[in-house]
Amino acid sequence: MFAVDTVPAPVIVHLLCVGADGHSAVTAVQLTVQPANTDRPIFTSATYVTYFHVNMSVGDFVVAVATTGAGSHGNRPTYNIVSGNEGSVFTIEPHTG
């Protein structure tokens, strides 16, 4: 776990998709934290890695990301995919990650 102040910006997360037939694809998601106050969020993992089946349905859960440190002053963190999501294949729940 890194404090946001010590993480080089931006943080790149790579996602790997491997099909049942062995074909695979990798995409990178760029995460940039822009704190609104001194109660900055801290990602609970420097890298998130997950594997999922190519035949999953739209809306199926793939992975959750999380932060700590935000919210003690009434501020709730929000999450967005800012790059690497060609064709908008992935979505993120903006309030829970």
Above 70 in pLDDT, residue 34?
Answer: no
Q: How many Å apart are CA 56 and CA 7, to the nearest integer?
A: 33
Above 80 in pLDDT, residue 69?
Answer: no
Mean pLDDT to the nearest integer, 26-30: 80
Where do the DSSP E strands lie in the chain? 11-18, 24-31, 42-43, 67-68
Mean pLDDT to the nearest integer, 4-28: 74
Q: How many Å apart are CA 59 and CA 71, to the nearest integer?
A: 27
